[in-house]
Amino acid sequence: MSRMSPGSGAANVWPITQQKVLFSLFGNVEELIGVKLTDRCLMMPIKSVSGVFFPNENKFESCQLCPREGCVGRRAPHDLALVKKYWGESEE
């Protein structure tokens, strides 16, 4: 299984503002599980995590598309070949 989360990795992969869309799929998330979004789309309580898991023949982590160095949450190395596959030469 692979996973992706809004706001993890490069901003062009899945922008954190998409938290609102993801949360809207489930109704009143704060009432259901006690997690709410701030106006900056961060989740409270702070250690909360959102996203999707999906089957994939090749293990995928959104970290592979992110050029940010020194990330404490990095789960896979940056993969320039994968970036080029999805966005051509540019990472913007």
Structure confidence by residue, pLDDT tens digits, 50-86: 999 999 888 888 888 888 888 888 889 999 998 898 8
pTM: 0.73
For 4-57, how does the pLDDT look when each residue is reduced to its tens digit (9 = 90+)? 889 887 778 889 999 999 999 999 999 999 999 999 999 999 999 999 999 988
Residue 89 has a pLDDT of 62
Amino acid at 75: R
Which residues, at least 6 apart from 48, have a Cβ–Cβ distance to it below 8 Å? 35
Residue 3 has a pLDDT of 86
The answer to whether the CB of 6 falls within 8 A of the CB of 15 is: yes
Residue 87 has a pLDDT of 78
86 closest CA partner among 30, 9, 20, 24: 9
Residue 90 has a pLDDT of 54
Structure tokens at 10: 């490069």
